Amino acid sequence: MKKISLLAIAALVLTLSSCQVIGDIFKAGVGVGVFMVVAVIGLIIFLIAKIGGGGR
């Protein structure tokens, strides 16, 4: 299993330039960050609705 992951990393490094790899990692991080912000805002709205009695 460890050899497969090392082989995949080596193939990724050889096929992509370092700037492209960093750019892809940054794009993935931005996507995860946006998802987390939306999830937290949704949770806050849900809690305020529950506390305020919005589900009567």
Q: How do residues 25-40 score in pLDDT, each as one tens digit? A: 788 888 888 999 999 9
What average pLDDT does the structure give for the chain?
Answer: 79
Q: What is the pTM of this model?
A: 0.52
Q: At what angle do helices 18-51 and 2-15 cross, to 10 degrees?
A: 110
Confidence of residue 2 (pLDDT cuts 50, 70, 90): low
Confidence of residue 8 (pLDDT cuts 50, 70, 90): confident
Give residue 16's pLDDT. Answer: 62
